[in-house]
Structure 1
Amino acid sequence: MSKKILYIFLLFISIKAVGQRTTSSPYSFFGIGQEYRSQTVEQASMGGVGLAFGNTYQLNLMNPAANADLLYSTFSFGAAFNQLSISDATSSQNSQSFSLSYFNLGFPVGNNAGFNFGIQPNTNMGYSLINFELDGTGEATSATRFYGLGGTSRIYGSFGMYVLKGLSLGLEAGYTFGKIENSVLNQRADVFLATNNREVTNITGAGVKLGLMYRKALDNNLILNFGATVKLDQNLSTKGEGHLYSLYLEPDGSESPRDTISSTVINGTIKSPVKTGIGFGLGKNNKWYVGVDYETQAAFDVQGALLGSSSNYKYGNSNRFSIGGFYTPKENSITNYWDRVTYRAGLRVEDTGLLVNGGTTTTDFTAIKDFGISFGLGLPLKGLSNVNVGFEYGQKGTTVNGLLKENYFNFRLSLSLNDKWFQKSKID
């Protein structure tokens, strides 16, 4: 990304299932794509708050210790629609995308423990940018297109149980897998053939997260909540192949490959350091809750060949601060449906840890920050099942130093089905 990028040529837009989560963000160009947060629609609607909150019939994807609170078997899945506006110092462009977000099943194990397993996107990549080289008269001498797609998914299982009154511990184990494709296509003026440097990389790795929750009853039916998580360091293996070849660009934009110029083997590692989180909350059961979360992580360490690895970006420490909560007027109201609706809101401030060199010197790095405001509704169905809708408006990046700024709107939707399974039949 440099100041020579004149405009966004094409945003990659498509519909994919879990495992290739759709994104249109140009910031997915870096590394193995844009990270997808592990959270439900309910948690996202509260600004991402959830490290300290457990519920008897709602899944918590942020802290495995919350599984200890499950009293009902719960199946949940979510989807998201994204409206994105991307701008530089002179122009802007809009795009839309849709994705499935997660599939999860959780159920109690005895009276003091619970288990949850599922699949969800982990990172996503989807960008297409063009860069023009100009001569002294302003005429284009060459055009370079940067293109990428794919991503990684994560399958996981988590278990939580009470070990003392009010204190639960949890363990989550997951496996990350996926494939990404990056290419740099260059066409020079008055040259018959173009060149394309294309890399296809497979990514795999396992990870473990530990969790803790503590709940203390206070006066006036108030409950003080505390939660903490530690995601242990994780190594992701990157293996694949790269090919540099010549080609002829047809008038319709399709490629006619000619000769292979060189081939390379990709064999690298992405080291993700320990990530810690801490959360506090106060509320009344099934009535209201207000919480604060904070997460932090040291810089990623990328070793080995990746097309996006260059002096144009690097990683630093990342952190996230969230505040949010919910309010339910009267959970068991039989006269007014809207009294049984749960109302959620929150905000999030995040330093992504990505630093991009958009200037003219080799040391002109700018930190990419993200900010979002969210709210949502929990619409009750028969029994304890519910439909959850969430809305989020946010901004990411900046237009200074030749970079891009994103203004986005996310609409999220989930369905949570709850029932009691594995019960012995009783005969009167």
Structure 2
Amino acid sequence: MIKRFILGVFVFTTSAILAQRNSASPYSYFGIGENFEAVTVEQASMGGIGVAMKDNFHLNFTNPASNADLRAATYAIGGSLTFLTVKEQDASQTGNSTNLRYISLGFPIGKKAGFTVGLQPFSSVGYSLLDDNNEDNATLFRGEGGTNKIYAALGGYIYEGLSIGAEASFIFGNIDNSILNQRADVALATKYEESLNIRGGQFKLGAQYKKELKNKLQLYTGASFTLSTDLTAKGTEKMYSLSLSSSGLETPRDELFNRSQNGEINVPLKSVFGFGIGKEDKWYLGVNQQFQGALKNDNVFVANGSSYKYDDSNKFAIGGYYIPKINSISSYWDRVTYRAGLRFEDTGLLVKTTDNFTAVKDFGINVGLGLPLPRQLSNVNVGFEYGQRGTTNNNLIKENYFNVRLSLSLNSIKWFHKTRID
């Protein structure tokens, strides 16, 4: 029964992820949009750590080598609700967005290997920006769409304490951008539209090592490498004149051009290193350090080469969990997993302000709870994050955001076992 339920929810939520539009950030205007970090709600609640973490009953998206430790079939689904406040030097605006962040199925293969397959959003575009600083000229920028990632990962032990893994994924999606320009005392407006289809593959390699120290302490180390890849961007771009009614209805008139568009987005090598220390089923403290080269866009996107550029990016995260008493009978709250973490990120995005480029940085504080379900290995995970991105300096935009994350992790040790009737 539970297998049919899990498979049914998997199909339904797959359709939901493909259909959703899940960004309200002005910074999704740049490139392929707002990038989504591949982490579970459990990992996000610890600042996004996990490259060195091993867990028998939770999935780990940061390092495919962690699949070697799966001891139960695991279905995971996670989503988030974001409350966003956008600030300029003399104004502010609020908004929110709700989205599914991942669905995934993981299975143990024997006692020394595991396999996962799933779907996640890779990036999202969702902005509407009005530039009316010039009294004689108003320009409206709009964009929507995004990309998704379907993936499969395998991990296994090759030596006592040492596991390796690999992940293959396919990235796909559509992004639509437009620029509407209206001049004072001119009857017709002009509109530029760009529609792109994004496709490409991506590969990740990883390794983890665990060593037991004195007093049942465990030392964990890990690394993962997402290899450089080129995503193709094919579509059309066109420009035409139009008339605008008082209600905002657009009526196209003369077409200035309509042509095909081809380009590439280079996603460079991303390296993640980390270590952790802890006692199994009791506590864990870990650190992640991430590095990535500068992204490159070739002949695509409305702002290409004019208002932004990319530089190398990096991210530092620290976090962990604590379980008072995992097998407590007298107290439910002693079996709860308490999580917390911090992250500091230089996104690599530089936005042009007058004659200079200003770096966009991100910071987040995270806490969360893992709530066990009665008489099961499964649990509900909830996480909260307060963060800031960008700055109001140099006429830029600063985002204050609050994320509420929720996930369900269902485990079944008997997934592959046949029912016996005596």
Shared fold per TM-score greater than 0.5: yes
The answer to whether structure 1 residue 173 and structure 2 residue 168 are counterparts is yes
1:58 to 2:51 alignment:
no
Report 1:151-300 matches (<5 A). Answer: 151-300=146-295
SS at match of 2:382: strand
What is the rounded CA distance, in whole Å, between the counterparts of 1:74 and 1:89 in structure 2? 47
CA distance in 2, matches of 1:330, 1:125: 43
Do the aligned residues in 1 keep the contact of 2:272 with 2:289 (CA within 8 Å)? yes
Do the aligned partners of 2:21 and 2:144 also contact (CA within 8 Å) in 1? no
Is 1:396 equivalent to 2:395 in the alignment? no
Unmatched 5+ residue regions in structure 1?
1-15, 135-139
Q: For residues 110 and 273 of structure 2, what CA distance do their matches in structure 1 show?
A: 28
| Contact 1:321 1:348 (8 Å CA) reproduced | yes
Show the counterpart of 1:340. 335
- Once the two structures are TM-superposed, the CA of residue 310 in structure 1 deviates from its matched residue by 2.7
Say whether 1:97 aligns with 2:97.
yes
| Contact 1:292-1:324 within 8 A present in 2 as well | yes
1:114 to 2:114 alignment:
yes
Q: Which runs of structure 2 are paired with 1:353-368 in the superposition (5 Å)?
A: 353-358=348-353, 360-361=354-355, 364-368=356-360
Structure-2 separation of matches of 1:315 and 1:247 = 34
Aligned match of 1:7 = none
1:417 to 405, 410, 419: 410
Paired residues in the alignment total 405
1:32 aligns with 2:32: yes
Q: Which residue of 1 aligns with 2:69?
A: 69
Give, as a single letter, the amino acid of the residue that structure 1 aligns with 2:405.
R
Distance 1:116 1:305 in 2: 34
Q: Amino acid of the residue matched to residue 398 of structure 1?
A: T
Q: What is the letter of the counterpart of residue 306 of structure 2?
A: S
* Residues 86, 397 of structure 2: 8 Å contact kept: yes
The residue type paired with residue 334 of structure 2 is D
SS at match of 1:17: helix
CA RMSD of superposed structures (Å): 1.2
- Secondary structure, counterpart of 1:28 in structure 2: helix
Contact 1:266 1:306 in 2 (8 A): no
- Once the 2 structures are TM-superposed, how far is the Cα of residue 256 of structure 1 from its aligned partner? 1.1
Q: Deviations over 1:49-107 (max 9, x none)?
A: 10000111100011000000000000010110000000011010000110011100001
Q: Distance in 2 between matches of 1:224 and 1:254?
A: 63
Residue in 2 aligned with 1:13?
none
Structure 2 CA distance for aligned equivalents of residues 403 and 120 of structure 1:
30
- Percent of residue pairs bearing the same amino acid type: 53
Does the C-alpha gap of structure 1 residues 256 and 315 become closer, same or farther in structure 2, counting only changes over 3 Å?
A: same
Q: CA deviation at 1:133?
A: 4.3
The offset of 1:424, in angstroms, is 4.7
Q: TM-score, normalised by structure 2?
A: 0.94
Other-structure match for 2:81: 81
Query: In 1, distance between residues paired with 2:190 and 2:133?
Result: 16
Deviation at 1:426, TM superposition (A): 6.4
Q: CA offset at residue 177 of structure 1?
A: 0.1
Q: 1:254 Cα deviation (Å)? A: 2.1
* Contact 1:21/1:100, CA 8 A, preserved across alignment: no
How far is 1:301 from its partner? 1.7
State the one-letter code of the partner of 2:200: G
Corresponding residue of 1:18 = 17
1:372 aligns with 2:364: yes
- Aligned residue for 1:405? 398
Distance 1:17 1:398 in 2: 33
2:321 paired residue among 321, 326, 330: 326
Amino acid at match of 1:65: A
Amino acid aligned to 1:368: V
Distance in 2, Cα, partners of 1:221 & 1:424: 36
Cα contact 1:88–1:402 (8 A) shared by 2: yes
Q: 2: distance between equivalents of 1:294 and 1:261?
A: 49
Measured against aligned partners, the alpha-carbon deviations of 1:164-210 in whole angstroms (never above 9, x if no partner) come to: 00000000000000000000000011111111000000000000000
Shift of 1:390: 0.2
What is the TM-score with the length of structure 1 in the denominator? 0.93
The aligned amino acid for 2:397 is L
2:347 matched to which residue of 1? Answer: 352
CA distance in 1, matches of 2:140, 2:16: 26
